[in-house]
């Protein structure tokens, strides 16, 4: 028996409420971005970066310990600076709109885990990066691009077994009838799936979702317990078919390939600007630890410039996965129905402005997805 239940949001108020929620979250995100830029610029121009670097240089003669200590302090100060905005976004806003089940203690634990994991990755990758800067002054950018690609592959492989369990409980889907139905669908889609996993989202949020995580044999398709209580089995099957579409169409590898191409270009551009800008600002060179904020600023600028292309590519892949389901499920309309429920539950803005969509939306807006799904379904029926 399906565990679906009806949502209680007034459909007349839902679009306005969703726009208010989306606008609030976007505003906080922009404030965080602006504050991050201001912090790095101030830390760099005020001399604080140089003093912090000199402190660790006096404490240890080892370059990589010097760099690691500097990064630890920089990350801690940055995290504390943004913590009020994170709390407002994750707790205050989510509770205001009835989306959060998370306690403050739970949020603090999650934030500490995120900070620790981010610090571990930052210290490891930047130590490797600066080793390349010092050891290969003219070819580091090419080796860095290859190393970045390998890191993305490794992270993709370990995410299901290592990263996800740090934040969520996952276990094989207990609804055997639904699990068997989804496994049969996977077979029709030509995708090998050994088990379907349920992820415990309800401990933190009322939002519903499903996702594909991992690469190769470690790939898992996760269905949120909140989705299971929101949608019918037919709708869940359609959502699952969408996720299978990502696998069948090799979207993870396409994203990695796109990331590899963009990283080669990005690291080459960084090679062109990092050294000259570091010397112009009085640093010993691009490998000067005190110039780390300059590196981070350049990376942020490149990220902002490339973001519209990244989101456009992601939206293209999501559209492919949506249309993939047309001949895989009995009623493609079920995905449109599920998307309407998800939009209502998650307070997704159904029709954002073109600028917001271009800059921030990795999925097509709900209104567009429903429109092209229904049009494609009608066309397939008329053939």
What is the helix (H) or strand (E) element at residue 172, kind and residue range? Answer: strand 170-172
Please give the distance of CA 309 from its chain centroid, rounded to a whole number: 15
The secondary structure of residue 99, as a DSSP letter, is -
Q: What is the pLDDT of residue 380?
A: 67
DSSP string, 247-315: HHTTHHHHHHHHHHHHHHHHHHHHHHHHHHHHHHTT-S-TT-GGGHHHHHHHHHHHHHHHHHHHHHHHH
Tokens of 218: 């470690």
The C-alpha atoms of residue 49 and residue 43 are separated, in whole angstroms, by: 6
Beta bridge partner(s), residue 287? none
Residue range 315-334, pLDDT digits in tens: 999 999 999 999 888 888 89
Which pTM does this prediction carry? 0.88
Residue 94, C-beta contacts closer than 8 angstroms, at least 6 positions apart: 100, 102, 205
Q: What is the pLDDT of residue 381?
A: 63
Residue range 109-162, pLDDT digits in tens: 999 999 999 999 999 999 999 999 988 988 999 999 999 999 988 888 888 888
Closest by CA position to 355, among listed 303, 313, 307: 307
* Phi, psi dihedral angles at 13 (to 5 degrees): -95, -20
What is the helix (H) or strand (E) element at residue 96, kind and residue range? Answer: helix 94-96
Residues of the chain short of pLDDT 50, as ranges, are 1-13
Q: What is the pLDDT of residue 321?
A: 94
Tokens of 383: 């053939």
């Amino acid at each position: 028996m399906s565990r679906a239940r009806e949502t209680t949001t007034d459909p007349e108020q839902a679009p306005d409420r969703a726009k208010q929620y989306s606008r609030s979250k976007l505003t906080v995100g922009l404030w965080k971005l602006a504050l991050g830029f201001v912090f790095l610029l101030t830390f760099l121009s005020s001399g604080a970066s140089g003093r912090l670097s000199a402190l660790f240089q006096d404490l240890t003669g080892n370059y990589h310990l010097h760099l690691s200590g500097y990064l630890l302090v920089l990350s801690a100060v940055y995290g504390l600076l943004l913590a009020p905005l994170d709390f407002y976004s994750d707790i205050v806003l989510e509770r205001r709109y009835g989306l959060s089940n998370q306690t403050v203690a739970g949020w603090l634990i999650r934030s500490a885990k995120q900070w620790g994991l981010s610090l571990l990755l930052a210290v490891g990758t930047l130590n490797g990066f600066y080793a390349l800067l010092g050891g290969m002054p003219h070819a580091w950018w090419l080796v860095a691009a290859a190393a970045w690609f390998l890191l993305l592959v490794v992270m993709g492989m370990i995410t299901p077994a290592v990263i996800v369990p740090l934040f969520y409980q996952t276990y094989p889907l207990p609804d055997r009838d639904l699990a068997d139905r989804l496994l049969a669908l996977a077979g029709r889609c030509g995708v090998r799936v050994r088990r379907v996993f349920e992820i415990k989202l309800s401990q933190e949020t009322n939002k519903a979702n499903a996702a594909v995580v991992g690469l190769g044999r470690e790939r898992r398709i996760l269905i949120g317990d909140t989705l299971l209580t929101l949608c019918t089995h037919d709708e869940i099957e359609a959502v699952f078919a969408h996720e299978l579409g990502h696998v069948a169409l090799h979207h993870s590898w396409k994203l990695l390939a796109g990331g590899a191409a963009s990283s080669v270009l990005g690291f080459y551009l960084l090679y062109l600007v990092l050294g000259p800008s570091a010397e112009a600002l009085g640093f010993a060179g691009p490998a000067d630890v005190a110039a780390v904020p300059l590196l981070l600023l350049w990376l942020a600028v490149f990220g902002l410039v490339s973001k519209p292309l990244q989101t456009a590519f992601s939206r293209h892949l999501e559209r492919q996965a949506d249309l993939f389901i047309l001949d895989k499920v009995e009623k493609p309309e079920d995905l449109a129905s599920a998307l309407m429920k998800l939009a209502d539950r998650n307070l997704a803005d159904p029709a954002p402005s073109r600028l917001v969509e271009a800059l921030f939306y990795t999925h097509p807006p709900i209104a567009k997805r429903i429109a092209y799904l229904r049009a494609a379904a009608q066309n397939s029926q008329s053939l």
